[in-house]
Structures are given as C-alpha cells and as structure tokens.
Amino acid sequence: MSVKEVKPDGVKPPVRPDRKPPVFSAEWRRQIPARINRGLYRQAPSVWDNMRPATLLHNIYKSIYRTTAFPKTERERSEAFFNSFLLHIQPAKIEKHALRFTYTFGLGLLSLYLFILLTISGLLLMFVYVPSTEQAYNRMLDLRSAVSFGGILRGMHFWSANAMIGVVFFHMCRVFYTGAYKPPREFNWCIGVILLVLTLVLGFTGYLLPWDQLAFWAITVGAGIAGKANWISDHINALPHPAGAPTVPALGDLTRWALLGSDTVGQEALIRFYTLHVAVLPVILSGFIVYHFWRIRKDGGISSPKESPE
C-alpha cells in the first residue's frame, strides 16, 4: 500500500534544475520573424523587406525592364532595346529621316492596329453570330436592335476592314515610291504582296457572313468569275504532250467547288467562308505579319533615301 504525499496549501513544487521557465520578452517576440526567416530560407532577413508592396512592385518592374527608365548614354539606349521584349524588334539606331512622319505616314503600323481592332471586334461578334443560313441574317438584325452596342461593334468591324484594305494598298504604294523594295529588301516586298492578297481574301470571305441579298449575289458573281479559270487548264491540255500523260483537271470547276462546296451558294459555302474568315486566314496572316516585322528588323529598319542597289 502506497502512501500519497500531501502538500500544504501555498507551497509550490520544487523546480527541476535542468528545466528553465520560458522567457517571452518583447525583444524575443520581435525576433520571431527573423528566426523563422533564417530557419526556412537560410538567408538574411531582407526577404521580408522585399515583400513590401513598394519594393515588390519595383522588383517586378526591374525583372521586366532591366535598364534605367530614361537612358542617357548610347550604351544605355542600346541595352534598353536589346533587353526589352517590346522594343527588341526595333533597331537600336535609326536614320534621322525615319523620324519624319511624312516619309512613311505610319501606314505599316496603322495596318497592324486595324488588324488588332478587327481581331478584337471579330471575337466579340462571334458570341452572337451563328453560321447558319436560317439564323445568320436574323443575328445581324439582333446586333442592331437587341444587343447592347451591337450596331457600334458591327460598324467598327465593317469600317475597319474597309480601312485596312485601303491602308495596306497605300502602304504598298509608299514602299514602291520610296524604293524600299530594292535590295536587300526585295524578299520582304514579296511578303508584303502576300499580306495584301490575304487582306483582300479576308474581306471577300467576310462579305458573305451577313447572308443578305447583297452578300449572296456578290459571292455568286465572285464564284462565277473563279469558275471561268477553265481556260487555263484548256490551254495547258492543248499543248503537245506524250501519249498517255495525264491531263490537267478543270481549274475553274475545282476553284468554284472549293469555295462553295456545291453548285450554288448555300449552307456549305457559308460554313466554309466562316471557317476561313475566323480561323484559317487570320492565323496565316498573323504569321506573315510577325515575319514581315522581323525581316524589317533584320534588313536594317526603314529604308534610307541614300541607299541604292549595287
């Protein structure tokens, strides 16, 4: 039988010599973040200072723009162009004449801005439009009466498309007038011609989408003109060729079927024009635009009036 020791009231048990009571002083509590920081990250307490909003925003800015905001020397200006994602497509140095607005009239960049505006407005219109012969025209009417700012949105898309065709054409005229098609820029001139053709084809494919009388008969006439290309294959087949050699198929009939998908303008033609207009041609045009700007950068920027072919 064990006897339990009874302690009198008011007497505390003795403290073990190997255990000390915790001391939570104010200085110790202030050091808690630094202790955690050193324990987790094994570095100086400056990590907490870098998490302050002002310092964090400054570090994010410096991670994107690694140079000074307003470079003064030639070296700082060159580094600002080479280290910036937005400026690296531009040459570090340009000719003085390129700064004159009347030399280029900004037609190249204006074409790019119109294409961006067309892309944004076209994506918004896709939320309303349905590529169906039974609903396409009614959706156009809904844009003017039932959709908020629908008329403005369609007008922006329509007039931007017309303006882009004109601006690209005048841009080509400016390049030809200033001799910017000469070596070493003759290949980029060919890319510009392709961009002009793609712009015209984009406008042609978008003309059928409203599905009104004007669009229907315009595409009917355009497909009929494309069908007249049979004379090309007829002339090729009329040339002397070895016996048993295959003949060239009728190019006009193939082109007409590729556009319409049938003998008349109907649902097949509408869905083909819609796919070309919103998916195929914009992707191809975007690729050529990127390559066009890259070639301008590699060819030394905007052409100089002093340059002459060898």
Residue 191's pLDDT band (cuts 50, 70, 90): very high
Tens of pLDDT, residue by residue over 17-59, are: 555 555 566 777 777 777 776 665 555 556 556 666 777 787 7
Which tops the pLDDT comparison, 197 or 252?
A: 197
Cα distances from 18 to residues 15, 21, 25, 28, 305, in angstroms, run 9, 10, 21, 22, 91
192 found inside a domain:
yes
Q: Which amino acid is at 29?
A: R
147 found inside a domain:
yes
Dihedral sign (CA 286, 289, 291, 297) = negative
What residue numbers bound the domain in which 203 lies?
Answer: 97-239+248-298
46 found inside a domain:
no
Element (H, E) at 289: helix 281-298
Which domain CATH number covers 256? Answer: 1.20.810.10
50 found inside a domain:
no
Report d(CA 277, CA 126) in Å as an integer.
11
Cβ contacts of 210 within 8 Å, gap of 6 or more: 136, 137, 140
Residue 279's pLDDT band (cuts 50, 70, 90): very high
User: Does 95 have pLDDT greater than 70?
Assistant: yes
Residue 80's pLDDT band (cuts 50, 70, 90): confident
81 found inside a domain:
no
**Structural domains counted in the chain:** 1
288 found inside a domain:
yes
190 found inside a domain:
yes
Tens of pLDDT, residue by residue over 148-173, are: 999 999 999 999 999 999 999 999 99
72 found inside a domain:
no
Q: Are 179 and 173 in contact (CB under 8 A)?
A: no
Helix extents (H) in 74-149: 74-82, 101-104, 107-125, 136-145
- pTM as predicted: 0.74
User: Does 303 have pLDDT greater than 70?
Assistant: yes
Report d(CA 201, CA 223) in Å as an integer.
13
Cis bond leading into 183, ω under 30°? no
Tens of pLDDT, residue by residue over 236-273, are: 888 887 888 888 888 888 999 988 998 889 999 999 99
